[in-house]
Amino acid sequence: MAETAPLCRYRATVAYDGTDWAGFQIQADRGTIQGQLESALGRLLRVPIRIAGAGRTDAGVHALGQVITFQAAWRHGTGRLERGLNALLPASIAVRDLRIAPEGFHARFSATDRTYAYNLSIGAGRQPLQERYLYRIGQALDMRAVRTATEMLVGRQDFGAFGQSPSGTSTVREVLGASWYDTSGADSRPGWSRPGSDLSLYLMGTAFLRGMVRRIVGTLLWVGTGVIDPPTFGDIVRSGDISRAAPPAPACGLCLWHIGYGPDGRGRRQDNR
């Protein structure tokens, strides 16, 4: 009689194109990333499996560095488990870097930081191979003003003007870094963006409110197009009033880029979550 495989905790990085999915978190009547992952694990392991994700991305949002954890009894090695999962998942979802997790490790509660990227393209000329992953705007942006406003986001403060707490509690969050990059090389100066510029905002924080990054981007676009100036942006941040912020920028431009777990990769202690 074959010996029963020990129950182990696993972690994996997951990348996905969120265009056709109703977000990460499982829903009873709509296709989600979590639902697809749990279905593939259940088929492979022949028992129901529940996963935990580091972030609950909304419908249409993408990920390069989502992290999941789950427990499973599997005797054939992590490489074979990863290959088996990818064989069962749809083409828009991929598991990579699957490994046994340290004791007590949890994808969400062990995370020390999260980084989101929001991708913009300036100009009317569409790029069919990229349109699913960026938000295209037709007018130039005053990047000097945008960068000035962006600097106001860094630090620990109430971000209630840009999002809602998933648990309905505090809207205080800490943004560790906020930077714009022109990945096209079309605009090396801190002035106005040029047609053809591909701009990316990277926001790193300990945690984010629901809809926070997309409302921040929408309001920064107000700054870039002259609807408001940087001091008014600062007033909106300090107000905590979500009705003063811009509507959320489209989901297609947002990507969960990276989840950090500290210098040793083991994350924070569970009793400090």
Show pLDDT as tens, one digit a residue, over the chain (273 residues).
Answer: 456 778 899 999 999 999 999 999 999 889 999 999 999 999 999 999 999 999 999 999 999 999 999 999 998 999 999 999 999 999 999 999 999 999 899 999 999 999 999 999 998 778 887 899 999 998 899 999 999 999 999 999 999 999 999 877 899 999 999 999 987 765 545 567 666 688 999 999 999 999 999 999 999 999 999 999 999 999 999 999 999 999 999 999 999 999 999 887 777 654 333
Q: Give the C-alpha separation, 235 to 241, whole Å.
A: 10
Nearest to 175 by CA among 199, 160, 159: 159
pTM summary value: 0.91
Q: Which residues pair with 198 in a beta bridge?
A: 121
Pick the catalytic residue: 29, 58, 198, 264? 58
Q: Which domains does the chain have, with CATH numbers?
A: 7-109 (3.30.70.580), 113-259 (3.30.70.660)
142 is catalytic: no
Q: Which residues contact 95 (CB under 8 A, 6 or more apart)?
A: 12, 13, 14, 37, 82, 85, 86, 89
User: Alpha carbon 133 to chain centroid distance?
Assistant: 13
Q: Give the C-alpha separation, 26 to 37, whole Å.
A: 10
Q: Which residues contact 133 (CB under 8 A, 6 or more apart)?
A: 17, 62, 119, 252, 253, 255
